[in-house]
């Protein structure tokens, strides 16, 4: 591809080796770091977070399209979260068969019954896309999914631009190095958290990061914490267990954990069934949901980010319900939808099963799970559908058109992995933030981007899942 790094550079193995070593140093120098897998809860040993040697060409028009639609996606997610009938209808079949979604939904219903105690809502989301290559060589922006819960890499992606600039300089590609975009999602995410904290209105109250058991990716979060400390906002990292043992609500439903009042709970854990180690963990989630603390996300926004909701949104007329007088907004969002198909019991779902069995390589089969490594591809789609097609079990999944981005040659730098040229596919994420107080949207922003790149031989993605690596777009 003309816009990429020429083959003669990529094939110069002595130069690639030299650049790769320097690139890893640059990553360490600029703080693109992770703890090592062997000791995920200690900073005694750290390594670079995996990244590409070179940035990846991305058409400017498509990149700008993704940024431009982000505030509308923020609005959409927020509107869905405030529409209990819609959520009920959209998730009705899923919660019959998917225990995890059902448990989340039960919390959602309990909160609705009791009435929400906090009218301030904080949304930090990331809408992910791939560029589907069309026959004429152009590409179109297609949403893979939207993450409303614990969308990560806003911190580290603030630091990768300097790394790629340095590599390109060293490769003698000054012009390209100057075209690497600045990016600072961490600052934007923190701005929204700070706004929610301020509206909560207690100087003493903290921002609680509800973190995982395994904290390998801690630095990604530390960048956001750091931005909050700059504003003299106290951040504390707590686990579910801390909330189980010390959490309580006072008579005004203020949340206290380890004796400190919590203004904002920023969930970086709790999106997978495995995160809920016991019934007490579920109790802790419910306690936080019932509290006066601002939740990011709250339970209904969590549900708004499910893949089933994404599929229902693609049905004719559904987006119009959320934007009744804004046909341009509807068009803008719709333009990014890939084909999404229901597996509900009934003729539409039957048709989906038939379609998928006839040509499984055209699709991806998705359960209601997050974090990478859960989707089903190729012949395995047939195996799964043959097993579940006659039963309601199939409604735990949705089917989606597979997107085919144009492959680009690059090197993926990862600890202990050999330096090998690969055909790579990229996924562009856009970070969106919003804060609402009652009826008032007090903030709605697009705060940066994330490019992740993987070997084209890997079907699934995810940096934390060990498949994709961090990258930067080089616009053309
Ligand atoms: P998760 O919530 O686990 O991240 P995703 O829907 O993002 O689930 O899927 C995980 C990965 O699978 C993506 O990062 C992407 O690499 C791949 N993938 C998902 N949907 C598609 C699709 N429609 N076409 C091509 N690849 C896809
Ligand atoms: Mg994803
Ligand atoms: Mg996801």
Per-residue confidence in pLDDT tens, the chain, 476 aa: 447 899 999 999 999 999 999 999 999 999 999 999 999 999 999 999 999 999 999 999 999 999 999 999 999 999 999 999 999 999 999 999 999 999 999 999 999 999 999 999 999 999 999 999 988 988 999 999 999 999 999 999 999 999 999 999 999 999 999 999 999 999 999 999 999 999 999 999 999 999 999 999 999 999 999 999 999 999 999 999 999 999 999 999 999 999 999 999 999 999 999 999 999 999 999 999 999 999 999 999 999 999 999 999 999 999 999 999 999 999 999 999 999 999 999 999 999 999 999 999 999 999 999 999 999 999 999 999 999 999 999 999 999 999 999 999 999 999 989 999 999 999 999 999 999 999 999 999 999 999 999 999 998 888 888 899 999 999 99
403 is in an annotated binding site: yes
Q: What is the CA radius of gyration of the chain?
A: 22
Cβ–Cβ < 8 Å for 125, 151: yes
CB of residue 309 inside a 6 A radius of ligand 1? no
Query: Is the CB of 150 inside a 6 Å radius of any atom of ligand 1?
Result: no
3-state SS assignment for residue 398 = strand
Q: What is the 3-state secondary structure (H, E, C) of 234-249?
A: CEEEECHHHHHHHCEE
CB of 339 closer than 6 angstroms to any ligand 1 atom: no
Residue 430 pairs in a beta bridge with: 127, 449
Q: Which of 462, 469, 471 to mutate to test the pocket of ligand 1 (most atoms within 8 A of CB)?
A: 462
Residue 373 contacts residue 391 (beta carbons within 8 Å): no
Nearest residue (CA) to ligand 1, atom 22: 402
From CA 228, how far away is CA 186, in angstroms rounded?
10
Q: Collapse the DSSP code of 57 into the 3-class scheme (helix H, G, I; strand E, B; otherwise coil) and give the result.
A: strand
| Residue 352 · residue 339 · CB < 8 Å | no
Q: What counts of helices (H) and strands (E) characterise the chain? A: 17, 21
Are 367 and 374 a contacting pair, CB within 8 Å?
Answer: yes
Q: HSE on the CB side for 55, CA within 13 Å?
A: 31
- Flag whether the pTM goes above 0.95: yes
Query: Quick check: ipTM above 0.90?
Result: yes
- The structure tokens listed for 434 are 């919003």
């Amino acid at each position: 591809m003309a816009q990429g790094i020429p083959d003669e550079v990529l094939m110069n193995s002595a130069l690639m080796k030299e650049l790769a070593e320097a690139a890893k140093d640059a990553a360490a120098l600029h703080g693109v770091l992770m703890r090592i897998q062997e000791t995920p809860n200690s900073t005694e040993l750290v390594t670079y977070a995996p990244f590409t040697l070179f940035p990846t060409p991305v058409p400017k028009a498509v990149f700008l399209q993704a940024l431009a639609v982000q505030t509308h996606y923020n609005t959409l997610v927020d509107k869905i979260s405030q529409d209990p009938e819609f959520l009920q209808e959209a998730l009705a079949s899923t919660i019959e068969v998917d225990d995890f979604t059902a448990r989340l939904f039960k919390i959602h219903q309990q909160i609705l019954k009791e009435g929400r105690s906090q009218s301030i809502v904080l949304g930090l989301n990331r809408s992910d896309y791939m560029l589907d290559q069309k026959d004429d060589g152009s590409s179109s922006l297609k949403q893979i999914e939207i993450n409303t819960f614990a969308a990560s890499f806003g911190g580290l992606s603030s630091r990768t631009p300097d790394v790629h600039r340095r590599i390109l300089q060293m490769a003698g590609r000054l012009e390209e190095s100057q075209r690497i975009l600045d990016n600072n999602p961490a600052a934007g995410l923190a701005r929204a958290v700070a706004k929610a904290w301020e509206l909560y209105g207690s100087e003493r109250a903290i921002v609680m990061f509800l973190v995982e058991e395994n904290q390998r990716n801690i630095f990604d979060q530390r960048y956001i914490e750091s931005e909050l400390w700059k504003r003299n906002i106290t951040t504390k990292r707590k686990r579910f267990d801390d909330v189980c043992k010390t959490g309580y609500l006072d008579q005004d439903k203020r949340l206290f954990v380890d004796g400190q009042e919590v203004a904002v709970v920023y969930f970086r854990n709790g999106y997978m069934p495995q995160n809920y180690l016991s019934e007490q963990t579920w109790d802790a989630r419910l306690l936080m949901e019932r509290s006066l603390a601002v939740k990011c996300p709250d339970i209904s926004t969590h549900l708004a980010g499910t893949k089933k909701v994404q599929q229902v949104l693609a049905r004719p007329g559904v987006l119009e319900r959320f934007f009744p007088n804004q046909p341009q907004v509807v068009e803008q969002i719709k333009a990014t939808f890939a084909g999404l198909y229901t597996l509900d019991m009934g003729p539409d779902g039957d048709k989906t099963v038939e379609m998928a069995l006839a040509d499984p390589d055209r699709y991806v089969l998705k359960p209601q799970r997050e974090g990478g490594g859960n989707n089903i591809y190729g012949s395995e789609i047939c195996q799964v559908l043959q097993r579940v097609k006659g039963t309601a079990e199939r409604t735990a999944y949705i089917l989606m058109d597979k997107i085919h981005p144009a492959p680009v040659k690059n090197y993926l730098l990862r600890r202990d992995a050999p330096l090998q040229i690969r055909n790579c596919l990229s996924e562009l994420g856009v970070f969106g933030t919003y804060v609402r107080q009652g009826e008032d949207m007090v903030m709605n922003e697009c705060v940066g981007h994330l490019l992740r790149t993987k070997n084209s031989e890997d079907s699934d993605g995810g940096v934390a899942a060990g498949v994709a690596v961090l990258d930067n777009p080089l616009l053309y």
